[in-house]
Structure 1
Amino acid sequence: MTTLSVIIPTTVKDSKLLERAIDSVLTNRELDIEVVIVNDNSDTFLLAENFLQKYSSNNISIYQNKGVKGAGGARNFGVKQASGELITFLDDDDFLLPGRLECMVNRFNQPDDNIVLVSTGRVYEYNNFERIEVVRKQIFGRLKLHDIFIHNQIDIGFMIKKSTFTALNGFDTTFKNLEDWDFIIRCLSLGDAYKIKSHSYIVKNDDNPNRVSNNDYLGLKQLASKHKNHFGDKWFYKIKTQELRSSGALSLIKSFSLSYKLKSLYPMKNYIATLVRK
C-alpha cells in the first residue's frame, strides 16, 4: 500500500480549527497515513495532555519547528520528518472532504510517468459558513506549465512524491508568500499536474485585513524577479500588473504604460476591474 504523509504547519491560533483539520484527514481510513504536525510558534507548546489523549491511537507526530520560520520553512521541516512515499499539505484552518486523499493517491498510482503533482478543486468558506464560494474559472484535468504560470490553478494541498519535493529543494523560504506558486512553477518544469474534478479542499477565507493573502504583492514581486529570465518580458509585465493591482498602485498611467509594453489590454482590464470593485 502507498504510504502518505500529511504535513500540517500551525502556529496554534485556534486549536479547534487545528483539530478540525486533523479529523478531516482521519476520515480517509483506506490509506496508510501519517499526520505530521509542525508547531511553528516558539511561544506555544502544542503537547497539551488532552490533545495527545484524543489522538493517541492515530499515527500522528508533533514536532517543534527547528528550521526556518514561516509557512514554507515549517512545511520543509515537516517533509524532512515525514516517512511517506507521497506527501501532501493542509493548512491548519482548512480541511478536507472525505475521499479526497484516496482519489489523489489513486490518480498517482495510475501508470502515467509524466504526472508529477496531483491536486483537486477548492471551495472558499467565509465566517464559519455564513457564505461558501466555489472558486471560479478552475481548470481540471491535465495541467501544464503554461496553465499555471499567469494564475496559479493549484492549491497548497497538492500531492507529490517526497523524492520529487526533496530534489526541488522544497519551498523557497526567502518568499514572503506565494512560495507554493513558485514551487509549482519549478515542479511543472519536470512534468505535468493533474487536477481532479472534485471540490474537496475547503479553504477558510474570512474577511480579515491581516490575512497573508492580502499581501500577495510581496510574493508577486519576488516571483517576477525570480522567473523573468525563464518566461520573458510579456510574462514579467503581466505579473507586475498583478503586483501593482494587489498593492493598490495600479494607476491609469501605469496601466497604459504596461499595456504599451505588453501590446495587450491585460493591464487596462485589471485597472478597470479595480474601479469596478470600489
Structure 2
Amino acid sequence: MVSVVITTYKRPPEAVEKAVQSVLDQTYQDLEILIVDDNKNNSEESKLIAEAFSGRDRIKYIKQDGNKGACAARNLGITNAQGEYVAFLDDDDTWEPEKLEMQLARFKDADENVAMVYCLGDVVDISTEPPTVSEYYTTRLYKDEITFHDQLKYDYIGSTSQGLMRKSALVKLGGFDESLPARQDYEMWLRISKNYRIYGVKKVLFHYIQHGMEQITKSPKKAWTGYKIVYKKYYEDYRKDPDAHIGMLQRIIETVKEYNYFLYQYYRIKKHIIKRFVK
C-alpha cells in the first residue's frame, strides 16, 4: 500500500480537490490519502477543509493542533500512514495517473537500501489563459541514481511532490526537520542520500502549479534562512567535499541575489568564497 500525504494551509477546498483527484486517478489503486490540515484551529479555512474531506472513502482527514508548518504536518502524516511506501503531494500540485505505478516498478527489483524513487516534473502557470507549461528546474539534471555528493552540490530532485519513499526509512531518519522554514525537502533528500540510495524515473509525472496564492518557495526570508540552517547542519560534509562546498555557497549567493533581500550578506559571502577558494 502507498500512503499519500497531502498537507494543506490556506488553500480552498476546490484547489485541494484537484490534487486529491489526481491521486484517486492513479493506475495503482492500493492507496490511502491523508489530508493533514495545518490551518489554525477553528478557522474558516479549517472548517471548509474538514467539511470537504471528512468521511470520504479512502481519505483520512487529520487536524494538526494549530498551525505548526508543513514539516510538522508531513511528520504527522508519516506517523498515521498505514502503507509500506509514503508519497507527499503539495495541496496545489497534481500527478500524472501512472506516477505511483512507474515508481513502484523501480522499487520492485531494487534492494532494501533503495529508499526513494523520484520523477521529473513541469511547471504549469494557471495565471495565464490558456495555462502555460514550462520545464521544471531539475529536469535537465536528471540522473538515474543520485548520490550524497550529487545532492550536496545541487538539488537534483526538487519538490516533495516528486518522491516515493519507504516509510521505514523516513521513520528511521526521524522525518522532516521541523526547524526549517524552507528547503526542508532538500534537507530530507540530503539525509536520505547520505544513508540510502535514490533512483529516478525519467518521465514528467508531477505538475508544479504556479498561481497567485501563497507559496513558501516565494518567501525570500524563509529561503535564505532554510539554506543557512542546511549549510550549518552539513558543514563538515561540505568541508570534506570542496566541489560540493563551492556549489552550495554559489546557490546561497544566487538565492540572496535573486531576491535582492540581504545585500550585505551577499557581498560578505561572495568575499568569503573568493578568499577561500580563489588563489
Q: TM-score range by the shorter chain?
A: 0.7 to 0.9
Contact 1:67–1:73 at 8 Å: present in 2 too? no
What CA distance in whole angstroms lies between the structure 2 residues aligned with 1:179 and 1:170? Answer: 10
Structure 1 unaligned regions, length at least 5: 265-278
Normalised to the residue count of structure 2, the TM-score between the two structures is 0.84
TM-score, normalization by structure 1: 0.84
Q: Name the residue aligned to 1:270.
A: none
Deviations 1:229-251 (A, max 9, x none): 12217344543332233223375
SS in 2 for 1:137: helix
* Structure 1 position 240 matched with structure 2 position 245: no
Cα pair distance change 1:178/1:134, threshold 3 Å: same
1:142 and 2:142 matched:
no
Aligned-pair distance for 1:132?
1.2
Seen in structure 2, the aligned counterparts of structure 1 residues 188 and 37 have a Cα distance that, compared at 3 Å, is same
Tell me which amino acid in the other structure corresponds to 1:40.
Answer: D
Pairing 1:133-172 to 2, within 5 Å after superposition: 133-135=134-136, 136-154=139-157, 155-157=159-161, 158-172=163-177
Task: Tell me whether 1:217 sits opposite 2:220 in the alignment.
Answer: no
Q: Specify every segment of 5 or more residues in structure 2 that has no aligned partner in the other structure, as ranges.
A: none
Paired residue type of 2:153 = I
Q: Which residue of 1 aligns with 2:24?
A: 26
Q: Which residue number in structure 2 is paired with residue 10 of structure 1?
A: 8
Aligned equivalents of 1:145, 1:17: Cα separation in 2 = 35
Go from structure 1 to structure 2 and tell me whether the alpha carbon gap of 1:133 and 1:261 turns closer, same or farther (over 3 Å shift).
Answer: same
Q: CA 1:263/1:192 → structure 2, altered by over 3 Å: closer, same or farther?
A: farther
1:259 CA drift (Å): 3.0
- How many matched pairs? 257
Q: Which residue of 1 aligns with 2:97?
A: 98
CA RMSD, Structure 1 to Structure 2 (Å): 2.4
Contact 2:8 2:37 in 1 (8 A): yes
Could you tell me which residue of structure 1 aligns to residue 77 of structure 2?
78
Deviates more, 1:226-235 or 1:6-15: 226-235
Is 1:205 the equivalent of 2:210? yes
Amino acid paired to 2:115: V
CA distance in 1 between counterparts of 2:193 and 2:66 reads: 26
Structure 2 residue aligned with 1:271: none
| Paired letter, 1:25 | V
1:145-197 CA-partner distances (Å, limit 9, x unpaired):
12222221223121111111000000000011111111111111122211101
Residue 67 (structure 1) shift: 7.8
Q: Is the counterpart of residue 111 in structure 1 residue 113 in structure 2?
A: no
Partner residue of 1:273? none
* Seq. identity, %: 22
Larger helix proportion, structure 1 or 2? 2
Can you list the C-alpha shifts for 1:120-157, whole angstroms capped at 9, x where unaligned? 00101113463211124231311111222222122312
For 1:272, the equivalent position in structure 2 comes to none
Q: Secondary structure at the match of 1:47?
A: helix
Q: Which amino acid aligns with 1:258?
A: I
